[in-house]
Structure 1
């Protein structure tokens, strides 16, 4: 019989061989988190893709809070220069009125638009009802300090005219609504951005967004063509510009996308029914707008299908500083890791953690390195960013074939 010492040696050798076997198996089969793209994706020849989008609601003449929000969202630095790289920034209108800083905000957005393009990013600007009010001479909410910043009433009107710097900027770079794709692929999901609410029965919804934006551009051009309507007050209210059409009047009416609040104010069941109809008609995944403030938080309805981002950022309201963040990633799926289309449930997150705890790993953008083609895990994270925290709104994953 083997001695006790020999048995001990045999046992130790067996344990050592078992350890080597387990280590080799583990190292050969281990992968990074399959839902967070990694550098290994490049080695497979199908690069990972990431797009980050920031959306900001009504700013109403408060340049200080506007810059705080953009710094909070890592879009600008302390000198108000673009540091967002390839990020997309969407602002949903109502930059003007109720404060004295509108001119500074428009100048900042103009500068950021050029800087973003230089880094592969993008700035998307949507007109609010207050922009169009100013264009047609409805100055009820214009402050005297704002008029002084422009250099007086006459110079303010000159700036707003179609050949003035601000009027020309509105006509060139601002629209009534925007459809923003989350990736460069032709089948990319899109998001809808409008200042107010889109009404499912609005007669010029499609083709989206071109039909609405053509009406908006036509109305704005007429409003900004000299002579402009005299400001009200102190002059009588002039209304829409001469020569406007019935369709343009409906665009600016209470039920149009600049003024209507239905998606923000109606009961949940009705809103979800409208959201389903709108998403199908417009070909978008989410409908995002401002106009109706909630001073405490960004409002998500119908599981994130509708998101209202006006939180009264301007000191004229005193609401919370906020920005909406959407992080969209595509992670290649190995054939070996095929899950037959079964969707993995998203992990649960404690939304009380500080914003820094939610920073996602850096992911290399597709750029010019390759094409989006093949099987991917598509992941869309939607967060509300506040001054000291980040809160989950929605998290969706699905397998897609591009």
Structure 2
């Protein structure tokens, strides 16, 4: 198989640096249409028309980005250059010219809050069909989808589903793995909600009963099926997952899914721990100078190989990549840039110097991180060079109002839910001043 074909197999709708012909994009549409075979007739017809925004996006979702970025998928794709992704697995560098970028922080198993955040960003339809409304927008979720909630697999399913639609409209959905993804692959289930064990067992049964063990088909449909099956179970006697037998079944199912080489571990392996989109780096905890020296692409590859359960050159299981996944200064665990102590001036000077060194080594303009809940909401430090966007929106954390980060044309804004949304632009590297604007929330 040619290299371009190999790349296409992982993400068929993006343009890799080894060129992909229009025939591949046609094949991608066929693949998506086949995936939709189990969807409702109305939903399937709209997707075949190829205009998600026009067919399903409510006016409120479109208004969310008015004056800032066009959500007209058909008009937009005529003028935007293709997204280019380095042909490595997982991708490390993405070129998305003139794209609106949305970054979303930690989700921790809360599907309802995830949908609220996506609608806040103008990416998700409000009609319950989970249709992509973002046109050519690039969405980056910065890790910690897992733990503390009962809809972890459903969120993975939703993000995958949106990515399939986004790529047909000139956009894309990317994720980076956080510490809660890596510890689950290690078999550390300390932070799993009881409903998370129940979801794992429920998903395994659903995959076998409804899809004859076809994991890909089951995962694509799970975002809808999980809610239907959950409602049915709640109506039955003694369904709750803290029943000891059910808990044991849930733990066994979770281990099967997330252990290295397991179906969901391999799904997570499609994503790295660091991603660069245009001039911005995205990581769960942070990127330090020694990470850059080690090699960002190298770290991503090693984490992916470990999650896939691949053998090393000695025919032994790939070891856990320590620099990326272990220790207080690893990519997924570091809190250097997100801790509250950064408010102290002396500490801030030292930390910002470390950040500048990492950014200069990569040529990036700024860094976006999650991991540490920001009690006062998403914010930036170091003159806008680092944005901290974990607001603890999951009901398993702070149950805070969703916020998302919006980057477009060198402007960075925080979109907040509530009676009014506030755009915040902090001082940036070129010394530009702060600007604030408002619009009515959905």
TM-score category of the 2 structures, normalised to the smaller one: 0.5 to 0.7
1:385 to 394, 403, 415: 415
Aligned to 2:338, the other structure's residue is in SS state helix
Task: Provide the residue aligned with 1:153 in structure 2.
Answer: 251
Larger fraction in helix: 2
Q: C-alpha separation between the residues in 2 aligned to 1:37 and 1:210?
A: 31
2:139 paired with 1:139:
no
Q: C-alpha separation between the residues in 2 aligned to 1:165 and 1:243?
A: 17
Task: Provide the residue aligned with 2:434 in structure 1.
Answer: none
2:369 to 265, 271, 289: 289
Q: C-alpha separation between the residues in 1 aligned to 2:350 and 2:150?
A: 38
Q: Indicate if the aligned counterparts of 1:300 and 1:393 stay in contact, CA closer than 8 A.
A: no
2:322 paired with 1:322:
no
2:243 paired with 1:193:
no
Q: Indicate if the aligned counterparts of 2:80 and 2:98 stay in contact, CA closer than 8 A.
A: no
Number of residue-to-residue matches in the alignment: 276
Displacement over 4 Å in runs of 4+? 46-49, 161-164, 242-245, 395-398
Task: Provide the residue aligned with 2:165 in structure 1.
Answer: 115
Aligned to 1:108, the other structure's residue is in SS state helix
Q: C-alpha separation between the residues in 2 aligned to 1:153 and 1:94?
A: 19
2:348 paired with 1:268:
yes
Q: CA RMSD in A?
A: 2.7
* Greater relative contact order (CA < 8 Å, ≥ 6 in sequence): 1
Render the CA deviation track for 1:161-211: whole Å, top value 9, x for unaligned.
Answer: 455442221122x11110111xxxxxxxx11000002222x2x42475312
User: What is the Cα deviation at residue 296 of structure 1?
Assistant: 2.3
Gaps of 5+ in 1: 1-35, 39-45, 182-189, 226-241, 329-379
Render the CA deviation track for 1:78-122: whole Å, top value 9, x for unaligned.
Answer: 222211010000000000101101111011011011111111101
Q: C-alpha separation between the residues in 1 aligned to 2:275 and 2:197?
A: 30
1:60 to 82, 99, 108: 108
Task: Provide the residue aligned with 2:26 in structure 1.
Answer: none
2:266 to 168, 192, 202: 168
Q: Indicate if the aligned counterparts of 1:97 and 1:142 stay in contact, CA closer than 8 A.
A: yes
Q: 1:60 to 1:295 in 2, by over 3 A?
A: same
TM-score, normalised by the number of residues in structure 2: 0.58
TM-score, normalised by the number of residues in structure 1: 0.63
Q: C-alpha separation between the residues in 2 aligned to 1:148 and 1:179?
A: 35
Aligned to 2:337, the other structure's residue is in SS state helix
Trace 1:3-402 onto structure 2 (pairs within 5 A).
50-78=98-126, 79=128, 80-151=130-201, 152-161=250-259, 164-172=262-270, 174-181=271-278, 190-200=279-289, 202=290, 204-206=291-293, 208-222=295-309, 245=319, 248-254=321-327, 255-265=329-339, 266=342, 267-318=347-398, 319-328=400-409, 380-387=410-417, 388-394=420-426
Q: 1:394 to 1:144 in 2, by over 3 A?
A: same
Q: Indicate if the aligned counterparts of 1:90 and 1:124 stay in contact, CA closer than 8 A.
A: yes
Larger fraction in strand: 1
Q: C-alpha separation between the residues in 1 aligned to 2:408 and 2:275?
A: 18
Task: Provide the residue aligned with 1:235 in structure 2.
Answer: none
- The structure that has the greater radius of gyration is 1
